[in-house]
Amino acid sequence: MEKAAAAPASPAKSPLDVAIDALIIGRNSDPFALLGPHAVDTPMGRRWVIRMFHPGAISAAIHFTDSQTAIEATKLRPQGFFEATLPEAQQDRPAPSSYRIQYRFASGATHEQYDTYAFPFLLSEFDLYLMGEGRHYDTYNKLGAHIQPVEGVRGVNFAVWAPSASRVSVVGEFNHCDGRITPLRARGSSGVWELFVPELDEGAIYKYEIIGPNGNMVPLKADPYAFRAELRPNTGSVVANLDTYKWNDSAWTTQRTQTNWFEKPISIYEVHLGSWRRVPEEGNRWLTYRELGDQLIPYVKDLGYSHIELLPIMEHPFDGSWGYQTIGYFAATSRYGSPADFMEFIDRCHNAGLGVLLDWTPAHFPRDTHGLAEFDGTHLYEHSDPRQGAHPDWGTLVYNYARNEVQNYLISNALFWLDKYHIDGLRVDAVASMLYLDYSRKPGEWVPNQYGGRENLPAIAFLRRLNEVAYERFPGLLTIAEESTSWPSVSRPTYLGGLGFSLKWNMGWMNDTLAYFSTDPIHRKYHQNQLTFSMLYAFTENFVLPFSHDEVVHGKNSLLHKMPGDMWQQFANLRLLYAYQYGHPGKKLLFMGQEFAQRSEFSEARSLEWHLLQHDSHRGIQRLIADLNKLYAAEPALHEVDFDWHGFEWLDCNDADNSVFSFMRRGKNPQDLLVVVLNATPIVRPGYRIGVPQPGFYQEVLNTDSASYGGSNAGNMGGAQSAPMPQMGRPHSIALTLPPLAATFLKWLPS
């Protein structure tokens, strides 16, 4: 039986055909080797050919911008791949770039554009080297989408880090979201992909279409370096130019570099911009950045605050995260306006004498498919091991701080806000979760470091380097750590073994203080140590005393309703709480709404309860905050020596039976001395004698029981003259009337 004849073998495809086929199906990883101008050998000699691709085009022609020359291209594939051979007169020139391609479609429509693949790459080899080393701290000027002219043509240069990708394209309406049209060029082994897209401009919406290392299509990704993003629920990145705003805050920024903030009054008003005040008559909408400038800035200034701290304004898809689950690390949220609008808000703050601090979240990032999670089809920004890369508390992912490029990304982001937006400092969220490998993890759920310990050594190195670089480039800024453990030297210089932060939130003080003030006054004598314990460690760090948003959410109640007793006692206790905060060493922070005794918990979905200010009791709290800020700023004794024992001295911390505390605050000048007395019971105590170090008149400069604050107006008729009667180990003493549930501040006036 005869065997059937073998089918003739298909001719092997040329490398060019293979490359064209890969391009048409969206799998070409080296578009510049195929598209654009190329010198090739032909039977007529060496010629320039220009190859181009536009799906659906039926014909294409090359139009040179410096002549009337037009060359029809030959269609090599029905899907829209063309090649044009230039005439001999063009051969002696360098690779042509000043030409446009005109595509024609079956509908009769035409589309004309410069050839993307005729333009050079812009990132230098040195840029790529520094990125790989993790030392290119202004990568926000390189990666992302940047509007610039190239060879006289204005367009956008896209660059993104995706080292494991087999193909990266930028997609948007400008290319019908077809990833085959504008694939990027891989820049060697750097992992960076880059492409200049001519004639694209500000406002263009785009994403990256990425094919992973195994040929899998990754969900469309927002640009990690995008300067603007669409308003949720849309998730596209938006081309933006941040260099057009004209700043008017040079006097502020110059003064900031010369300011020793450790010796200055720092009183911080913490704000969530979306719920500070809304416009109910317009669908309960947010205020814009410009409206916030008109309303928030004068309000905070009138209250006497030195700084506004904003809950994260970086773009985030979920309102309920308050910004802490950040997606667009380089994009000010579009909820309230444009980047220029936010710049103007900060500019106006500075011109009003207010610093601006941003909450910043390098501890974790969300899993949203358009974000950083598995960005190039691999665990790029996060660890692959969930024991290292997943956060058990928040359902988010943890950065791989051991990777140079990840450290570079985060440090670059911090510097970006300080540079482009003139931010005065960063409050770094959840530092404790970064420092410990076993944070919120059970045994077996975490991976020890190379020495078998629980310390996250790469994260520690990252935080130290962050602070070193930030202070080197922006003298006078503040970095503040929310660190809830007893990790040593958080706010000490790195050359002394510290983490290098300026300040640290005093979470222990906050917890003890709120526990004490939540206790019924009749039982407070058993809890005296909750207010005295903080002085055992008060000067181990440069502390901020926070009553933040975290204390008035999730069933914790507002500060007012944490207080025990009837309504009068609740208000009196709240006034005493605030006075204790301002008398205690450390900088101050209060979350919005608590300055007028908000009754409800914080919610991002509604405005503060501004209607409460119709009541005298609430206006009294607001007036007290303004007066405390004024006193705090005016009296060096209350702010000048905050981080050293020379600024504080107990007079008596042992009168637990009466729940009375008395202490002194001192400035650098011996003449700056204040006495603070707290009566934590609702009992008026006449004739209470306090020992004082110097003779003279002790002027009552603030009394929280004043009728103007809603109190009973018990007091000392302006102050008390000392007598040479020893008390509390002091050679002199003063006799005071201690108002109920109140604090008294007395300034020493020498005789």
Domain of residue 631 covers: 507-524+543-636
User: Are residue 620 and residue 661 in the same domain, yes or no?
Assistant: no
User: Are residue 628 and residue 575 in the same domain, yes or no?
Assistant: yes
Residue at 406 is within a domain: yes
User: Are residue 320 and residue 432 in the same domain, yes or no?
Assistant: yes
Q: What is the pLDDT of residue 1?
A: 45
Are 318 and 365 contacting, i.e. CB atoms less than 8 angstroms apart?
A: no
Average pLDDT, integer, range 535-540: 96
> What are residue 698's DSSP bridge partners?
720, 748
DSSP of 463-494, one letter per residue? HHHHHHHHHHHSTT-EEEE---S--TTTTS-G
Average pLDDT, integer, range 87-111: 81
Residue at 416 is within a domain: yes
Contacts of 720 (CB under 8 A, 6+ apart): 697, 698, 700, 734, 735, 736, 746
Residue at 8 is within a domain: no
User: Are residue 594 and residue 655 in the same domain, yes or no?
Assistant: no
Residue at 243 is within a domain: no
Catalytic residue among 482, 541, 700, 705: 482
Question: Is residue 46's pLDDT more than 90?
Answer: no
CATH number (domain holding residue 326): 3.20.20.80
In degrees and rounded to multiples of 5, residue 625 shows phi and psi of -60, -45
CATH number (domain holding residue 675): 2.60.40.1180
User: Are residue 291 and residue 418 in the same domain, yes or no?
Assistant: yes
Among 577, 610, 636, the domain boundary falls at 636
In this structure, which amino acid lies at residue 163?
P
What's the chain's length in residues?
751
Question: Is 482 noted as a catalytic residue in this protein?
Answer: yes
CATH number (domain holding residue 42): 2.60.40.10
The mean predicted confidence, pLDDT, of the chain is 95
Question: Is residue 257's pLDDT more than 70?
Answer: yes
User: Are residue 53 and residue 156 in the same domain, yes or no?
Assistant: no
Extract long-range pairs of 11-19: CB within 8 Å, 24+ residues apart. none
C-alpha of 157 from chain center: 25
pLDDT tens digit sequence for 602-648: 999 999 999 999 999 999 999 999 999 999 999 999 999 999 999 99
- Residue recorded with tokens 């504008």: 182
User: Are residue 35 and residue 156 in the same domain, yes or no?
Assistant: no
Catalytic residue among 209, 341, 374, 429: 429
Average pLDDT, integer, range 72-86: 94
Residue at 10 is within a domain: no
In which band, very low, low, confident or very high, does the pLDDT at 89 lie, cut at 50, 70 and 90?
low
Handedness of CA 450, 456, 461, 462 (dihedral sign): positive
User: Are residue 55 and residue 162 in the same domain, yes or no?
Assistant: no
Respond yes or no on whether the N-terminal peptide bond of residue 233 is cis (omega within 30° of 0).
yes
Question: Is 230 noted as a catalytic residue in this protein?
Answer: no
In degrees and rounded to multiples of 5, residue 575 shows phi and psi of -65, -40
Question: Is residue 31's pLDDT more than 90?
Answer: yes
In which band, very low, low, confident or very high, does the pLDDT at 679 lie, cut at 50, 70 and 90?
very high
User: Are residue 311 and residue 300 in the same domain, yes or no?
Assistant: yes
Residue at 537 is within a domain: no
Question: What's the total number of domains in the chain?
Answer: 5
> What are residue 185's DSSP bridge partners?
194
pLDDT tens digit sequence for 363-411: 999 999 999 999 999 999 999 999 998 988 889 999 999 999 999 999 9
What is the spatial distance between Cα 688 and Cα 459, in angstroms, rounded to a whole number? 52
Residue at 111 is within a domain: yes
Handedness of CA 117, 119, 123, 124 (dihedral sign): positive
In which band, very low, low, confident or very high, does the pLDDT at 66 lie, cut at 50, 70 and 90?
confident
User: Are residue 677 and residue 733 in the same domain, yes or no?
Assistant: yes
Among 86, 118, 150, the domain boundary falls at 118
Average pLDDT, integer, range 556-576: 97
Among 582, 606, 636, the domain boundary falls at 636
pLDDT tens digit sequence for 281-303: 999 999 999 999 999 999 999 99
User: Are residue 429 and residue 512 in the same domain, yes or no?
Assistant: no
pTM greater than the 0.85 cutoff: yes
Q: What is the pLDDT of residue 45?
A: 72
User: Are residue 589 and residue 662 in the same domain, yes or no?
Assistant: no
Residue at 246 is within a domain: no
Q: Which two tokens stand for residue 646?
A: 């020379």
In which band, very low, low, confident or very high, does the pLDDT at 95 lie, cut at 50, 70 and 90?
confident
Q: What is the pLDDT of residue 12?
A: 80
Number of H helices, E strands in the chain: 14, 36
